Amino acid sequence: MLVSAKDMLVKAKAGHYAVGQFNINNLEWTKSVLQTAQELNSPVILGVSEGAGKYMTGFKTVAAMVRAMDECLGITVPVALHLDHGTYDGCYGCIKAGFTSIMFDGSHYPIAENIEKTRELVAVAHGLGLSIEAEVGAIGGEEDGVIGMGECADPDECKAIADLGVDMLAAGIGNIHGQYPANWAGLSFETLDAVQKKTGIMPLVLHGGTGIPDDMIKKAIDLGVSKINVNTECQLSFAAATRKYVEAGKDLEGKGFDPRKLLAPGAEAIKDTVKEKMELFGSVGKA
Ligand code: 13P
């Protein structure tokens, strides 16, 4: 059931668990994530970066595929179709295409400009029943060519953005997209605590969910994180399972080259990763 992310996140914040955002890249990804959410009776957010949207030939294709798949698979758990790290133009593109949620990432603008653009998009998104995420303090690492330095957010700036009425707020707390380097300093719980104190009931978003140790994830949820984004980890599971299949020569046995067979182990591996994360985040049975 396609819905905005608002209600599922309000429930998560009140219930002290987090909803997973799993980024999708193609049909297999989408199907694996939707089937796992349904099987575990968990709410879920499908994240689409601008690069992934382009890869899938456009946001219109993505929205049509997700809507049709949601219906054809008989998905009854709440599913939000969410733009990840959207530009100003990307947000309008997704609104037009029929997404149910957007993220405007204005973290690279001066704060006054981030506030003005976020304010405008909050009014447009809410007018159409969509939820909206904003960002303060860049997330580190590289995702789809967007490179963030990984700064910690200023809690007062977070409050200024939260006061605009966004539905969820991504605050940089030392988190990084992609795999964490060996010398990573860990999440800044002082920053998270300060942001949570300033923003109250606002559901906070933790980007860069791949590779964060379980105890840090649990502590972040305790300190007000209600949405956790995972992308790279599903890509790694998919790649490893596909490699194993090919290295075992299975694609050369019978009709093992059939894409429905070749991509099956990877699709199963994505399901396992999503299941593991939903159990860790505490969203199982919360649909
Ligand atoms: P990872 O790729 O590190 O899991 O981060 C995903 C993310 O934050 C998407 O916005």
Nearest Cα to Cα of residue 79 among 47, 44, 48: 44
- Per-residue confidence (pLDDT) for residue 142, from 0 to 100: 66
Residues 6 or more apart in contact with residue 182 via CB below 8 angstroms: none
Dihedral of CA atoms 136, 287, 130, 170 in degrees, nearest 10, equals 0
Cα(189)–Cα(140) distance, integer angstroms: 16
**Per-residue pLDDT tens listing for the chain (287 residues):** 999 999 999 999 999 999 999 999 999 999 999 999 999 999 999 999 999 999 999 999 999 999 999 999 999 999 999 999 999 999 999 999 999 999 999 999 999 999 999 999 999 999 999 999 999 987 777 656 655 556 799 999 999 999 999 999 999 999 999 988 888 889 999 999 999 999 999 999 999 999 999 999 999 999 999 999 999 999 999 999 999 999 999 999 999 999 999 999 999 999 999 999 999 999 999 99
Residue 215 annotated among the catalytic residues of the structure = no
Specify the pTM. Answer: 0.96
Give the distance (Å) from ligand 1 centre to CA of residue 4: 20
Q: What six digits make up the tokens of 137?
A: 């303090």
Task: Locate 216 and state its tokens.
Answer: 């840090």
- Provide the pLDDT for residue 199: 97
Contact between 210 and 179 under an 8 Å Cβ cutoff? The reply is yes
Residue 172: CB within 6 Å of ligand 1? no
Q: 232 CB less than 6 Å from ligand 1?
A: yes
How many residues are listed for the chain in this entry?
287
Q: pLDDT at position 184, please?
A: 85
Strand partners, 140: 176
Phi-psi region of 126 (alpha: psi -120 to 50; beta: other; left: phi over 0): alpha
Which mutation among 105, 179, 229, 273 tests ligand 1's pocket best, with the greatest number of atoms within 8 A of CB? 229
The reported pLDDT for the residue numbered 141 is: 72
Cα separation, 58 vs 271, whole angstroms = 25
Question: Which residue is it, tokens 């020569």?
Answer: 249
